[in-house]
Chain A
């Protein structure tokens, strides 16, 4: 049952359905229920699902069934188009500062993939633009967090600014930015410690860091395997920070990644990058349409529909 393909589900729900013309009301009901379940199974949060289903209902009511498609395929197409639209049509690039350095700050729960993503992004910019990034180690809490960033920096030949664990992260960031100015770095990454959105002290620290650094980009890093809690987490971080975008990590797993939709829905911020593995090269620009069919559990179906 779990992870069943949406098209299969719709086909089952709409077994008796053939012919052309408008989609019938009762058939639509049956398919909407299946879509709802598919989205929930993909971990899209249920308020988002509700809203989404209402949208689809509107769209599908008057829709003519296209030549070459049957009703389930037609519904899938409507859903997919709508999902892609919700997710943001275009890939969103990294914000750029007018003056160097462009400052990019990470935020997120523990273990989401912030440190790894910092290294991946720095590596990408270095490779693609010949950039001279600096990474600031502002996680003084997690054991060996600084070592982790320093090892990554050494492997990738990207400098790391660190002052050990006895200095306040705010100060570390100040000093790191000063060094970046001095050394003419064109990008600065701030690797922050993982924290719960309900941890007031640490959330204050995070907003202080943002006030000090005035980053061009504050990237919320979210594990793609996150369940229904994604909404609450994202809202918590969005409450305290002016998020500019989202990085979705660990998409190399077999998760549907429905959290992506919920987060996009509640924050309105674009997902900019996706992590697809642990290596520095495993970072991709986010493509909304691919994510849409993944959440719905569809592979080739879409290519078929696109051709119709």
Chain B
């Protein structure tokens, strides 16, 4: 993992010279932080080392951690990490978007359970009418968490299924409607337009909805996640990120870069396949997880 590499790197370095900074850049890049940000952090370290005349290994370690935490928090200053809801009496619509296989459907299931536990009346709609078994998958989640699932006819137009579900949520006074959409790659123009259409259809019934458009990102994704965030933001107003598969060995460092460039907050973290494997995002925990071996 990142921390192991980082430790090895610290153990290996003898003096703070150009090789050291090159190595630091590489190491930061090695955690999927992205090139620009890695360079920027490395440069900050370079400055601070000069300024504070740091020579000691332990001091430089502390400095790097401090800088990264600062950088992270600074980027998120104006971000709103909370979930937004419709005024009472109107359903809140939460739309899940993202590329293929990142964990949208699973996260919908987990989150439905969560809001149901809070006493909300929850509904889900299977707007992935494309992928084999997608509707069935959401329906199984529906059974698992005892939440009703709206599904259309096979291969139906996803926008029409969503329309039906929004009407239903309104008529039945549901509190939250989760929309599970099909995975789509951000460079697929037609599918991105389909997403925009879904948004319009929702707004026909509920002009203020969707209150949340959550872009689901797989923590193992590299630099392409930045492109994903950019292009999904273009087609629908993404309000936040869900970072999944954090139970694996990837560190999800790309969210640093996304915060840096697009100022999208991570709202949720998925860390497993079970219904309880979901928590709200905490910057401290995230940075700590990144440097766990180093700090302990």
Assess whether A228 is interfacial by the CB under 8 Å rule. Answer: yes
For the A-B complex with A111-B101, A147-B133, A227-B220 known, give 5 more contacts whose Cβ atoms are closer than 8 Å. A142-B273, A143-B137, A197-B249, A250-B101, A256-B224
Q: Are B36 and A2 in contact (CB under 8 A)?
A: yes
Q: Are A111 and B103 in contact (CB under 8 A)?
A: yes
B-contact bits for A235-251, CB 8 A (1 contact / 0 none):
01000000000000010
Assess whether B30 is interfacial by the CB under 8 Å rule. Answer: yes
Count of B interface residues, CB-CB < 8 Å: 49
Assess whether B99 is interfacial by the CB under 8 Å rule. Answer: yes
Q: Are B1 and A232 in contact (CB under 8 A)?
A: yes
Which residues of B are found within 8 Å of A223, using beta-carbon distances? 101, 218, 220-221
Which residues of B are found within 8 Å of A111, using beta-carbon distances? 100-103, 218
State the CA gap A50–B26 with chains docked (Å): 9
- Assess A253 versus B220: contact at CB under 8 Å? Given A198-B248, A228-B31, A228-B32: no
Least CB distance, B169 to chain A, in whole angstroms: 23
A-B contact pairs, 14 of them (CB 8 A): A2-B223, A42-B223, A144-B133, A148-B133, A149-B133, A155-B132, A226-B222, A228-B29, A228-B32, A228-B250, A229-B250, A250-B101, A254-B186, A254-B187
Assess whether A31 is interfacial by the CB under 8 Å rule. Answer: no
8 Å CB contacts to B: which residues of A35-86?
A: 37, 40-43, 45-46, 49-50
* B272 to chain A: closest residue by CB: A196
Main secondary structure on A side of the interface with B: loop
Assess whether A96 is interfacial by the CB under 8 Å rule. Answer: no
8 Å CB contacts to A: which residues of B20-34?
A: 26-27, 29-32, 34
Which residues of A are found within 8 Å of B225, using beta-carbon distances? 225, 227
State the CA gap A121–B109 with chains docked (Å): 31
Least CB distance, B97 to chain A, in whole angstroms: 15
Binding site for B on A (CB under 8 A): 1-3, 37, 40-43, 45-46, 49-50, 109-113, 119, 141-145, 147-152, 155, 196-198, 223, 225-230, 232-233, 236, 250, 252-256, 258-259, 278
Q: Are B220 and A250 in contact (CB under 8 A)?
A: no
Least CB distance, A253 to chain B, in whole angstroms: 4
Assess whether B245 is interfacial by the CB under 8 Å rule. Answer: yes
Determine which residue in A109, A111, A253 has the highest number of CB atoms from chain B within 10 A of its CB, and name it: A111
8 Å CB contacts to A: which residues of B126-140?
A: 130-134, 136-137, 139-140
Assess whether B290 is interfacial by the CB under 8 Å rule. Answer: no
Least CB distance, A256 to chain B, in whole angstroms: 8
* A153 to chain B: closest residue by CB: B132
Which residues of A are found within 8 Å of B1, using beta-carbon distances? 232
Which residues of B are found within 8 Å of A119, using beta-carbon distances? 132
State the CA gap A147–B141 with chains docked (Å): 14
Assess whether B213 is interfacial by the CB under 8 Å rule. Answer: no
Q: Are B222 and A227 in contact (CB under 8 A)?
A: yes
- Assess A227 versus B32: contact at CB under 8 Å? Given A110-B245, A147-B133, A151-B132: yes
Q: Are A250 and B100 in contact (CB under 8 A)?
A: yes
Q: Are B133 and A225 in contact (CB under 8 A)?
A: no
Which residues of B are found within 8 Å of A46, using beta-carbon distances? 26-27, 29-30
Q: Are B273 and A252 in contact (CB under 8 A)?
A: no
Assess whether B166 is interfacial by the CB under 8 Å rule. Answer: no
A-contact bits for B167-204, CB 8 A (1 contact / 0 none):
00000000000000000011110000000000000000
Q: Which of B36, B133, B187, B249 contacts A253 (CB 8 A)?
A: B187
Q: Are A198 and B249 in contact (CB under 8 A)?
A: yes
Determine which residue in B100, B144, B251 has the highest number of CB atoms from chain A within 10 A of its CB, and name it: B100
Q: Are A145 and B35 in contact (CB under 8 A)?
A: no
State the CA gap A252–B172 with chains docked (Å): 41
Assess whether B242 is interfacial by the CB under 8 Å rule. Answer: no
Which residues of A are found within 8 Å of B144, using beta-carbon distances? 143
- Assess A148 versus B101: contact at CB under 8 Å? Given A2-B36, A228-B31: no
